[in-house]
Amino acid sequence: MKVTDYIKNANETLFSFEIIPPLKGKGIENLYEGIDPLMEFNPPFINVTYHREEFIYKNMGDGLLKKISIKKRPGTVGICAAIMHKYKVDAIPHLICGGFNLEDTENALIDLQFLGVDNILALRGDPIKSESVFTPSSGGHHYASELIGQISKMNEGKYLDDERQNAPTNFCIGAAGYPEKHFEAMNLNSDMKHLKEKVDAGAEFIVTQMFYDNAKYFDFVDKCRTVGIDVPIIPGLKPITTLKHTTFLPKFFHIDLPETLSNELEKCKTNADVRKVGIEWGIEQAKELKSKGAPVLHFYTMNKSTAVKEIASAVF
C-alpha cells in the first residue's frame, strides 16, 4: 500500500523506521534481531537504505596500485523482498541517482515493481569519498528531482523507449527534506525551491533529515506550506546514545544540537550517561511531534533497536 494511503487512513500518528543493509558477508539474521523488537509498534512500512560503490586502491606489489570498485553494503532490493515476506509490511527501498544511468534506473524500477514494492524514496546520494562534489554517472541524473521525474513518467507508462505502449508502474514517490537545509544549498530558501521541484516532479511525501529541535521541523513545515508544498512531511528521529554521536551526528548529517541538549550532553562522562539524556530527549521530541499531529514518527535505527524501542514504548 502507498505511504500516502497509510497516512490518509490513520487516525493517529504512525510509527516507522529505517534500516541499513548489513556489511557484505554478514548474514540477514542480525538485521531481523534489530527489526523484531520494533514490530509491536505496527510499522506500516520499513525503509531500506541504498549504498553505492566506493573506490579503494589495492596494492598489487611493484609499486602498482589497482583502483577497485566495491559495494560495502549491497542487498537493498533483496532485503526489501525478505522484509515484505517475513513481516508482511511494506518495504521502501531508497533509490539514488549516483552510480546509475537512466537505463539502470529503469531496470531497477522494473525489478521493484515485479517484487510488489509500492513506494520508493528517491534521492540524489552523497558524493563518494573520492569526490569532493557529487558527480552523476555518465548519462545519469544530477538531482533527485530528475530521478523523481523519471519514476513519474514510468507511472504514466512512459519508459525510455517511448515508441511502445508500456505498462504503467504505480509507485508512490518520497523525497528527502532538510529542516536545517541541505549542506550544499546556498540557503534554506533555495533548498526549499528545489524541494518544491521534487514535489512538482511527482514526490507525494517527504521524509526529513534527523533533527533535535522540534521548532526547526515546525518552521520547515510552515515554510513548505507557504511555498505550496502540501504533501505529508514525515519527521526523522535518531536517538543519541553514545559519546561519539555527540560529534559524529552534527558532522556527518550537518545538523545542530540545541543548546539545552548540548549543555546536558557536555555533563556526560560515559555512553550510559549520554544514552539516558538522549532517550529522555527523544521521548520529549516524539511526544510533542505526536501531540501536534505529525503523520508518522520515522526512526533512523542504524540497525539498533533498543533505544528506539524505549522511545516508542513511551509514546505509542
Segment (H or E) for 30 = helix 29-35
Q: Compute the half-sphere exposure of residue 116: CA atoms within 13 Å on the CB side of its CA.
A: 10
Please, which of residues 96-125 interact with ligand FAD by CB under 6 A? Answer: 96, 121, 123-125
Least Å from the CB of residue 194 to ligand FAD? 3
How many chain residues interact with ligand FAD (CB under 6 A)?
23
Per the annotation, the verdict on 18 as an active-site residue is: yes
Q: Is 236 in the site for ligand FAD (CB under 6 A)?
A: yes
Closer residue to ligand FAD (CB): 176 or 307: 176
Least Å from the CB of residue 153 to ligand FAD? 17
Q: Is 194 in the site for ligand FAD (CB under 6 A)?
A: yes
Closest by CA position to 280, among listed 237, 239, 234? 239
Q: How far apart are the first and last CA of the chain?
A: 22
Closer residue to ligand FAD (CB): 145 or 246: 145
Four-residue CA torsion sign, 266, 267, 270, 273: negative
Segment (H or E) for 263 = helix 259-266
Q: Which of 16, 49, 285, 301 binds ligand FAD (CB under 6 A)?
A: 49
Residue 267: what residue type? K
Cell matching residue 182: 541541505
Least Å from the CB of residue 145 to ligand FAD? 6
From residue 138, how far is each of 97, 102, 107 by CA, in Å?
A: 11, 9, 16
Active-site residue set:
18
The residues of the shown chain that bind ligand FAD, judged by CB under 6 A, are: 49-50, 94, 96, 121, 123-126, 143-145, 176, 182, 184-185, 190-191, 194, 198, 207, 209, 236
